[in-house]
Amino acid sequence: MSRKVFQHYSDEKLLDHYRETRRLAAFEPLYNRHKDALYRYCIQMAPNSTTQLLQALWQSTLENPPQLHGRLFKNWLFIQINKSLQKQTVSSPQPQILEGENKVIAAIQKLPKLQRNVLLLHMECKLSLAAVADIERISLKKCREYYQLARQQIETLIYGSQAQPWQVEAIKE
């Protein structure tokens, strides 16, 4: 089969084909489809160990392709990387924010880990809140609450905590 044929396969079909044949041509589209989203997610969650985490994930996937048991491959990837992040001991609770860095990125990095994770998985990685709830092993209701809270906290961190009242000028007759 040519590489062009593989481009039209679903992730799950590609993974099955790779598991059966161990042809890298079947694995390449999987890697290319998900590498950027995984990187953007990891760099926000663990900037100092992103490379090591992703190398370990892709290496283990190559060596021992997973049985998905009905789960989407994309979801499986984020579940695995999330497990690795949870096992990792981080010396500081929040990533260091560089001076002059984008306000939105700085605000995201100030969020508590669970809220940051829910927000990034949903917004950056384009996973449904149901998939995020599955990854985090929380209820869908709780996941929605964390997502809304994260968005509110980012808004507060960017624009400040005090809402500005509407100013109405007195109408003079």
Co-location of 2 and 87 in the same domain = yes
Structural domain span for residue 69: 1-91
Quote the pLDDT of residue 91. 41
Mean pLDDT confidence for 115-136: 91
Calpha distance 129→118 (Å, rounded): 8
Q: Quick one: pLDDT at residue 165?
A: 56
Sign of CA dihedral 161, 123, 105, 45: positive
Nearest to 54 by CA among 65, 67, 42, 70: 42
Choose among 123, 163, 134, 148: nearest CA to 41: 123
Q: 70 with 103, same domain?
A: no
pLDDT > 70? residue 157: yes
Question: Residues 55-72: pLDDT tens digits?
Answer: 999 999 999 999 998 889
**Which of 62, 91, 120 represents a domain boundary (last residue)?**
91
- Return the number of other C-beta atoms located less than 10 Å from residue 62's C-beta: 14
